[in-house]
Amino acid sequence: VEAGVLVYMESEVNSLSISPKSLGALISGDITNWKQLEPDNPGYEMPDYPISVVPTADTKALESITDYLKLEKVNVKNKVFVTTDKPSIDLYSALEEGQVAIVPNSYAVTLGLYPAAIYKGMDAEESPILAVPDVAGIQSASTQWIMNSAGQGVSVTLDPTKDPTPPEGSDTAPIPYQAIYPVNVSICNSSLLPKAVGRFLLRLDSQGALGASNYTPIPEGVRISSLIAVSKGLPTPSPTPTE
């Protein structure tokens, strides 16, 4: 599972949260100063300083954010970012003071960038309600996926009305960070070798290996359905006989 995140560099801001409305306004070019984000960061005085934008954004990362904003009933007209598929990670390795960018979460983790949380208001105890783009928040949102097994593939769509599933050993689910999208694997060859590679990748995911590559593991139900789809036609391995 991958996510689209807003990352930032501002030495006077220890942690940043941004409401869906403000995030849409930033993408539309209507928010241009850090001071405008003060209502989304209760208890903090934001600097009166211009926001600079890295204009190149990963296509899927930006789409995941705008799709999420549509779920939040926020109309967005992008006037700031130019999208490209899989931009060079080097574009974001040295953000300047006051600068923000929209990147895949795996980029943010790899480079140690600071991601903004989504501000969703205050709770009954006057504490901010935040959807954080960490493993817990991303995995929580992925349990809201509705799976569709059609033909030879598996696809997912996010249903924001579905209650997220709490992680094993917990009674409550983290607040879901819903600007997510699947890392797709397309099998484009009729031979068995690509299918075997696909099955191997899904097995690695269950063992945590893909998570170590800065992706968040997919939900078990999606993984199993994907394994069934990709394993069609593959022989079942036989265990080595023992004495």
Q: How far apart are CA 116 and CA 224, in angstroms?
A: 32
pLDDT for the residue numbered 206: 62
Q: How far apart are CA 176 and CA 137, in angstroms?
A: 5
pLDDT for the residue numbered 220: 87
Pairing of strands 180-181, 2-9: antiparallel
The Cα-based distances of 65 to 11, 97, 105 in angstroms read 25, 23, 12
Q: How far apart are CA 12 and CA 46, in angstroms?
A: 8
Pair 7, 113: CB distance under 8 Å: yes
**Mutual orientation of helices 192-206 and 220-230 as an angle, nearest 10°?**
160
**Mutual orientation of helices 59-71 and 20-28 as an angle, nearest 10°?**
130
Tell me the one-letter amino acid at 77: K
Pairing of strands 117-122, 17-18: parallel
Spell out the residues 6+ positions from residue 49 whose beta carbon is closer than 8 angstroms to its own.
Answer: 10, 12, 33, 34, 35, 98
Spell out the residues 6+ positions from residue 35 whose beta carbon is closer than 8 angstroms to its own.
Answer: 46, 47, 48, 49
Pair 102, 6: CB distance under 8 Å: yes
**Ramachandran category for residue 34: left, alpha or beta (phi over 0 → left; psi -120 to 50 → alpha):** alpha
Q: How far apart are CA 118 and CA 49, in angstroms?
A: 21
Going through 159-209 in order, the beta strands assigned E by DSSP cover 180-181
pLDDT tens by residue, the chain, 243 residues: 999 999 999 999 999 999 999 999 999 999 999 999 999 999 999 999 999 999 999 999 999 999 999 999 999 999 999 999 999 999 999 999 999 999 999 999 999 999 999 999 999 999 999 999 999 999 999 999 999 887 677 889 999 999 999 988 899 999 999 999 998 877 776 788 888 888 888 887 666 566 566 888 888 888 888 888 888 888 887 888 887
pLDDT for the residue numbered 207: 61
pLDDT for the residue numbered 202: 84
